[in-house]
Structure 1
């Protein structure tokens, strides 16, 4: 009779504890798929959730595993813990169905149609993952037309991160927000709180004053008595003196309020003080605003490499990396760039064969280009800037001669109109805005065939150009940027001589002074300010295009080369800085 032996399966050489336990990667997913199938078949369900006429069978243990609300309900001493029917009050049935589906499937679609019902119910049921997904969705939808409403919604539902982000967005986009109904519908206390913020981002304080007038005039009968309460938070001393005299002093609402007159007198007295006296004269209205910006990216649009190109790149300041964006509809170099209402305008330029008057518009959220009305004149190597919410296109070359003309685009009505001409033809001109005035710097006068050291200043209130102090040297193709209220002229050339020198204009003293030279000679470079620094992008050194970017710190008077260069070296590119977009999916 044979005997059965037992096989020894224990390892002879290795300790079994050294081996990891077997784990099936899809086990949990498959288990929940089965649980969800059982729920839909009403198998082993031990509770029915009732809202109005909607009844949803479910498993208590599954609901409790994903919701602290249900966990407390089913494990506590309340009667619901033993009940097989739970009725919930004041909860949207569709949102509840979606959330219970999420508990079993881990998937949910947040949309414009359901986010305002989904988030409150996710909050009540303490399903934090869905609440956070709703907040992320709303954050991605922020726009000047809805940011005040989203902020109020976030405040109502205690979504602190979204609340803070929407508040910052509102302050950052104040000049655009004021044109929409949400702003005009705020009450006086809410307006005061907004305009008193030190973080409000405005180019000039005039924009805050004009926003206040717009709000009052929206319902003049009921709001005119609030003007003094509002004007207390407008920093009138920081407004240009000409504007105070021509606009504020003549405003009927100000004339009829003795308190408003006091604010105006304070502002006019401030302008009479010398610079050193202003430094020690401090009131809540003399302190400059210090905006807290959203994350930024640098855009480099088109350019010459060596011919006109369509390429658009962005530089993420935080990541210190370059990214390719959607190309322009057509080749474009020597254009000007402006940003209004979150949209980027590429104005005029050269397409490789013709000087153009066309304008392309880039939407950073959609990463997409469209077109808008063309300028009156063909312009390449022009200067472009934004002043009081309008785009100004200055000088340039039309294919046969340099231009002394300039024009203005009103975004609201979509029309270009000519403004007064400059005193001099200026192609390859640089422009910048300081204290509500537009400066045209240097350039090339085709008539005299000379590069220019002259500078003139445009006052939009009078529609007049006036000469200001000349630069220390001739500069055509200089980059122009503004930091801390000072105007910088960067590089450029005088005939074959390409400069690395930089000088700065102080409007208070009407004088130019030298700062440190750049590392490289550059002409036709893009210049833009961000975070108190001046960035000079690309250009050419007289023989080849440059891909490098230099950064100037005015506090230390030092230039630094960025660690990474553009993907494509280019000159004559348009550059600007925008809020880092959350791209649409």
Structure 2
């Protein structure tokens, strides 16, 4: 007990029950610089050789250290110094697989948290850190190498990443090589890629090349650099070059003349496959394989109206005009199967007084920027619905001249022919459709007596229509898309009290599991627009806006966040439902 001294501060008497007076009146404070102060003190002791209790030896260089510091920073040293190993009983260890410079760098980091790195020393430091299991140093080495990667050192960095099983750094090196593949292919270090690395690069969709034929030449050059070691793998590599995407001229006059392709049985088979793909144009959708897929990961919105075919790249934000359609296509329906775009029906011309529809159908192939005419529909139709399901197209309802249609027909790609299916109970025009959970849904539209809110459901396996819960409000000339198990109905027209068509801005959401509709908080004023889906976003193109003018907007409605955004606001105005998502070649046409 303190004698002769009186406490100046008195403790708080208001203490909760069950809590001691001492606990109630204590606060936990900390010093943010304490850790650095301790490290600085330990580093000074190391420099002075004070209280050091261990020595590390590499390449005849000895570093005096503190066991506790190393054990705290490295799993390797923790096991060595706290277990029953011989090194734990001795006062030094010789590290045979670590350089003196690398060891110095990691020990300095253990005491300071700082690392000096350059191209000259990073490999030594990474080797030491990996061997001594100092994960923070390994991470910093990787960060440095990812920043320092160039066309001159990218293959070396890839090899380094594989040597030390650094998966993230390996992926970054791979991405860099893929991005700069053509320019790197002319450098000497490109030829140091091994067979496995080359195969992995050829497998990637975002390998950037000006053409698949140029890629063939690059692979051929790489094989010829070390023919004895690499020619045994020629077929395995050439199977990753997408030979069907070469032109017929390139295949016949160039690739077929290469001796290495003539002498290999498997390469001959690949050549035959590629040539056959060009011969049977009508059957190309049935011959799809990894070798017929466009080498790109970028998606584009396709917009078709009249003769012009416009694409908008969602990554580069650039427009590209593709080959004109065989005939002008006004308000056709558009679907995608295996990255082929199918356009059917619509009007013969853009004359608003011409109500005659067309039955003609075409297929656009983005691999070669070409059009191919297919069998015409059984019935000419416009303002109808067309959906793709399991490799087939379903054309539903619509009108020809002023006659509303209730029929449905199905196009079998394999047969190139249409066959009639069970008709709708009621004819309609301006409806919207989508596929969800192996069922085809048709919503709204205009009947003989006005707009309807009906939701019809077609089961392809039973060839049968059933009626589901109607929409909250009848509408037509709207869009409907399926995203993550729900149907989203956006915009369109409704009838006012006088029976006139007026725009609606509401978005309704249908949940098939409970057969119920709900309203979204978000609103969009669009009619007669094109729409397509990518991920959780619905892209909406053109149509009519609230002022009855052709819209110049491309919108994106995010179904997860229930928000809309303008993707582009100055594209050429378009009306109709001719809109879809395709993968286009990265090198253009």
Q: TM-score with structure 1 length normalisation?
A: 0.51
- 1:256-297 Cα shifts (integer Å, max 9, x gaps): 555433321222122233545642x46x6645267678xx9x
- 1:544-582 Cα shifts (integer Å, max 9, x gaps): xx99763499xxxx9x9985569x98889xxxx9xxxxx
Asked if structure 1 preserves the Cα contact closer than 8 Å seen for 2:54 and 2:64, the reply is yes
Q: Distance in 1 between matches of 2:129 and 2:552?
A: 49
User: 1:85–1:292: structure 2 CA closer, same or farther, 3 Å change rule?
Assistant: farther
1:116 matches 2:117: no
User: 1:158–1:274: structure 2 CA closer, same or farther, 3 Å change rule?
Assistant: same
User: 1:181–1:548: structure 2 CA closer, same or farther, 3 Å change rule?
Assistant: farther
Per the alignment, in what secondary structure is the counterpart of residue 57 of structure 1?
Answer: strand
In the alignment, what sits opposite 2:12? 11
Q: Distance in 2 between matches of 1:166 and 1:228?
A: 26
Deviates most, 59-68 or 14-23: 14-23
Q: Distance in 1 between matches of 2:199 and 2:29?
A: 63
Give the drift of 1:190.
4.4
Q: Distance in 1 between matches of 2:223 and 2:151?
A: 20
Asked if structure 2 preserves the Cα contact closer than 8 Å seen for 1:236 and 1:285, the reply is no
Give the drift of 1:156.
0.9
Q: Distance in 2 between matches of 1:269 and 1:193?
A: 27
Per the alignment, in what secondary structure is the counterpart of residue 44 of structure 1?
Answer: coil
In the alignment, what sits opposite 1:159? 166
Give the drift of 1:131.
0.4
Task: Say which of 267, 271, 291 aligns to 2:274.
Answer: 267
In the alignment, what sits opposite 2:240? 233
Give the drift of 1:119.
0.9
In the alignment, what sits opposite 1:37? 44
In the alignment, what sits opposite 1:403? none
- 1:305-327 Cα shifts (integer Å, max 9, x gaps): xxxxxxxxxxxxxxxxxxxxxxx
User: 1:218–1:48: structure 2 CA closer, same or farther, 3 Å change rule?
Assistant: closer
Any residues of structure 2 matched to 1:105-254 within 5 Å, and which? 105-143=112-150, 145-171=152-178, 174-188=181-195, 190-196=197-203, 205-218=212-225, 227-254=234-261
In the alignment, what sits opposite 2:425? none
In the alignment, what sits opposite 1:447? none
- 1:116-141 Cα shifts (integer Å, max 9, x gaps): 11111111111101101111222233
In the alignment, what sits opposite 1:583? none
User: 1:121–1:469: structure 2 CA closer, same or farther, 3 Å change rule?
Assistant: same
1:288 matches 2:284: no
Task: Say which of 364, 385, 388 aligns to 1:506.
Answer: 364
In the alignment, what sits opposite 2:105? 98
Asked if structure 1 preserves the Cα contact closer than 8 Å seen for 2:46 and 2:65, the reply is yes
Q: Distance in 1 between matches of 2:562 and 2:215?
A: 37
Give the drift of 1:25.
2.0
Per the alignment, in what secondary structure is the counterpart of residue 550 of structure 1?
Answer: strand
Task: Say which of 537, 550, 555 aligns to 1:550.
Answer: 555
- 1:501-532 Cα shifts (integer Å, max 9, x gaps): xxx981453479999999899xxxxxxx9999
Gaps of 5+ in 1: 297-336, 339-343, 347-383, 385-429, 433-438, 441-454, 456-467, 474-482, 489-503, 522-528, 578-585
Asked if structure 2 preserves the Cα contact closer than 8 Å seen for 1:168 and 1:292, the reply is no
- 1:111-166 Cα shifts (integer Å, max 9, x gaps): 32222111111111111011011112222334455443322211111223323443
Gaps of 5+ in 2: 16-20, 300-311, 331-337, 344-361, 375-381, 387-477, 480-490, 492-523, 527-532, 573-582, 584-589
Any residues of structure 2 matched to 1:295-444 within 5 Å, and which? 431-432=320-321, 439=322
Rg larger for: 2
Q: Distance in 1 between matches of 2:179 and 2:117?
A: 26
In the alignment, what sits opposite 1:459? none
- 1:473-519 Cα shifts (integer Å, max 9, x gaps): 7xxxxxxxxx946699xxxxxxxxxxxxxxx9814534799999998
Task: Say which of 464, 469, 473 aligns to 2:326.
Answer: 469
In the alignment, what sits opposite 2:65? 58
User: 1:275–1:152: structure 2 CA closer, same or farther, 3 Å change rule?
Assistant: farther
Give the drift of 1:206.
2.9
Give the drift of 1:61.
1.0
Number of matched pairs: 385
Give the drift of 1:59.
1.2
Q: Distance in 2 between matches of 1:469 and 1:199?
A: 31
Q: Distance in 2 between matches of 1:536 and 1:214?
A: 46
User: 1:183–1:562: structure 2 CA closer, same or farther, 3 Å change rule?
Assistant: farther
- 1:93-112 Cα shifts (integer Å, max 9, x gaps): 12211211111111113332
Asked if structure 2 preserves the Cα contact closer than 8 Å seen for 1:39 and 1:58, the reply is yes
Give the drift of 1:535.
8.1
Give the drift of 1:248.
2.0
